[in-house]
Amino acid sequence: MSQLYATSCKPSASRPHPSFDPLQAPIFTRDRQDDPIVYTALLAEADYLISDDRDIVPDRREHHYEHDGHHLLAVTFNRFLAAHFEPTDLDWAAIDGHWLRRAYADPLQRTEDPPNV
């Protein structure tokens, strides 16, 4: 299970960061193990929570969450791409995928970062 939090970069120095205890997260989903994920995204004031988890996005499209005045839209990865990504905007030739080998390599077998091209 992997999630992605999408948030705008807003300075938060003027706002205190609340303490966080995963066991004290409010109930948001059918699965109590997913509630800290949703709660973290809400506390971080994320705009989106991108997840393919069926308890976080129960209708497999989008789900709205609200806590303490902040609203969060949970969407599946494919739904987010369809709404916010235009393949024509991407220069596929400019993408260097060598970093993927490092990201998915066994940590015990990593030697050094691949050189940037």
The encoded tokens of residue 114 equal: 């691949």
Percent of the chain with pLDDT over 90: 41
Residue 39: how many other CB atoms lie within 10 Å: 23
pTM of the model: 0.61
Cβ–Cβ < 8 Å for 64, 71 = yes
Strand (E) or helix (H) holding 79 = helix 77-84
105 confidence band (pLDDT: 50, 70, 90): confident
- pLDDT score, position 93: 78
Assigned token pair, 4: 């992605």
DSSP state of 6: E
Confidence of residue 41 (pLDDT cuts 50, 70, 90): very high
Domain boundaries, the chain: 3-90
Predicted pLDDT at 10: 45
User: Over 90: is that where the pLDDT of 95 sits?
Assistant: no
DSSP 73-109: EEE-HHHHHHHH--GGG--GGG--THHHHHHTS-GGG
**More confident site: 1 or 116:** 116
Query: Band of the pLDDT at 113, cuts 50, 70, 90?
Result: low
